[in-house]
Amino acid sequence: MKQIFTSFKKSTSLIAILALSGMTFNASAEKLSGNTASEITAMMTTGWNLGNTFDATNGSNNGYALDAETSWGQPKTTQEMITAVRKAGFNTIRIPVSWGKHSNFKEDPENFTISEEWMARVKEVVDYCYNEDLFVILNIHHDNNSGNIIYTLKDDGTSEYFIRGVWRQIAEAFKDYDQHLVFEIMNEPRLVGTSYEWYFNPDAPPAQVIPALEMLNKFNQIGVDEIRGNGSAENKDRVIMCPGYAACKEGCMTSYFQMPTDETPNRLALSLHAYRPYDLCLGSVSTWKDSYSSEIKAYFKDVYEKFIAGMGIPVIIGEESCSARFKRNVYSNQEDRLKWVEAYYSVIKEYGMPAVLWDNNVFKSNAGEAHGHFNREELTWYDRPFIQKIMDVLGIQDVDNISIDYSLSVGPNPASNNIYVSADNELQNITIYTTSGARVLYKEISGSNAEIGISMLNRGIYNAVVTTEYGVNVIKLILK
C-alpha cells in the first residue's frame, strides 16, 4: 500500500496549524478519497449534531425562507460555532436538514426544485466544517414527519419522487466534495403516530409494519442510486449511511431489512440511533444503575455481530445523548450522566462505532429532552465535564492551547518513505497520534531539521505533534 503524507510547504503548514488553533482559513484541505466505509468510520472518532436548526420546519412563508434556521430558537450558525465544537475534540458534525418546505414539491412533485437560497446556506455551513477539516453528515430529516415521505401502501408514489428528487439535487450541489462529506438517506423512517412508530418485534413484525419495511428498503436503494448516478468521481466514492426502520436496533435486526446494492463496493454504512438505556437517556429515570452497563453492552453486541463482524458493514450512531435533570436550576444527575458516558462510550469504542452527540440546545427544561450541550451564543459548553468525559474515554487529545510556529515545515521526502521536519529554531521531539489519541510514534530530535521513518504506519489520518523550543505544534497528516 502506497503511503503518502500530506505535503506541507510553509504556506500549507500554516493552514494546518491555524486549523487546529481555532483560526479560520479558506484553503481546501487535502482531498480524502479511495477509503472504504470502514476506514472512514475509523477516522470519524466522535461527533456533534447541529440539532433544531436546519431540520426546523417553521419559519416565514411556510418555512420556505432562510429564517427557518432560527425558527426553533437557535442563533444563526457561524464559523466560530463550528470552530468551538472542533476545539472541544469533535471531528464530525451532523447537519440534519429538512428540505420539503424549501421546495415546490407540493405543487410539482415529479419535477420540484429546492430553493437555491436554502441549498446555498446549507453549503455555507458545510464549508464551515470543511474549513476545520471535519467530517460532515448531511441527511433528509423531518420530511418524514411533514408527510413528504409516507411508508404505507396508501402512498401514491409521491414519496418516491421526493426521495429521488432531493438526493438528485443534493448530489449535484455537492458533487465536488470529497469523502469528508457523508450522505445519510433518511432520518428515523417510520409510521408516524402509530403504536408501532418506535418499536416492534423484529422476529415477527406486525402486518402493518411489513409494507413500511419494504418501502424503506426501496427508498434507501433510490437514494443510493441517485447519489451514484450523479456521475462525479466524488459521489461514486462517497460513504452513504442507510437507516433501518426508525433508525432503531429492531428496525435493522429484522430479516425484512436489507442494505441496498451499490455499484461502488464497501462504501455503505448502517445508520443507527441509540438513546440507550431509554429510561435514563430519554425517559423518566435520572439515576444510574449498575445493570445499565450490561444492557448497553448487549444492545450494541447484536448490531456489531450482524453488521460489522458478520457483513463487514460499519455502523455510525447518528444520534445519542443522556438527558440532563435539574433541581432548583442545579444539575441533579451530573454524576449519573458521567457514569453513562463511561459505560456507553467504552462499548462503542470497543466495537468501533463512532457516535454523534445529539444537541438540541435545550437546557434546564423539557425533562427527557434536555440535550443542550453547547451554548451557541456564548461559544461555551453547558456541561463541560460531560464533554470532557467523552474525550477522556475516547483518548482524544486536548488541542485548545497549542502554540503556532510559523516557520515549521513538515512534509514527505520523495526519495524515501520518511517525513521531513524543519524549522527556523531548535526541534525537540515529534509524536504521531491516531485521531483517537493512541500514540504510534515518538522520537526525540535535535537541530533544525530531521527525517522520521513512517513505514510502520497504516493508511489513515494522524496528528503529528512537533515540539520546538517555542512550543507545541499540531499538524494533521493523511496517509493514502
Check residue 57 and report its DSSP letter: -
294 Cβ contact list (under 8 Å, min separation 6): none
Give the amino acid at 476.
K
61 Cβ contact list (under 8 Å, min separation 6): none
From residue 330, how far is each of 92, 280, 322, 334, 358 by CA, in Å?
A: 30, 18, 16, 9, 21
Largest CA distance in the chain: 74
Is 188 noted as a catalytic residue in this protein?
yes
What is the C-alpha separation between 94 and 74, in angstroms, rounded? 16
**Cα-based torsion angle of the residue sequence 30, 33, 36, 38 in order, rounded to the nearest 10 degrees:** 20
What is the C-alpha separation between 248 and 201, in angstroms, rounded? 12
* 3-state secondary structure (DSSP) of residue 184: strand
Locus of grid cell 494522524: 462
Find the catalytic residue in 188, 226, 234, 320: 188
**Cα-based torsion angle of the residue sequence 300, 180, 374, 284 in order, rounded to the nearest 10 degrees:** -20
How many C-beta neighbours within 10 Å does residue 57 have?
A: 18
Burial (Cβ within 10 Å: 0-12, 13-18, ≥19) of residue 116:
exposed
276 Cβ contact list (under 8 Å, min separation 6): 295, 296, 299, 320, 344
What is the C-alpha separation between 324 and 360, in angstroms, rounded? 12
* 3-state secondary structure (DSSP) of residue 174: coil
| Residue-by-residue DSSP string for 299-319 | HHHHHIIIIIIHH---EEEEE
C-alpha cell at 187: 432520518
CA angle, 64 as apex, 59 and 69 as ends, to 5°?
Answer: 50
- Rounded to the nearest angstrom, the gap between the alpha carbon of residue 299 and the centroid of all alpha carbons in its chain is 21
126 Cβ contact list (under 8 Å, min separation 6): 95, 136, 138, 174, 177, 181
Catalytic residues: 188, 319
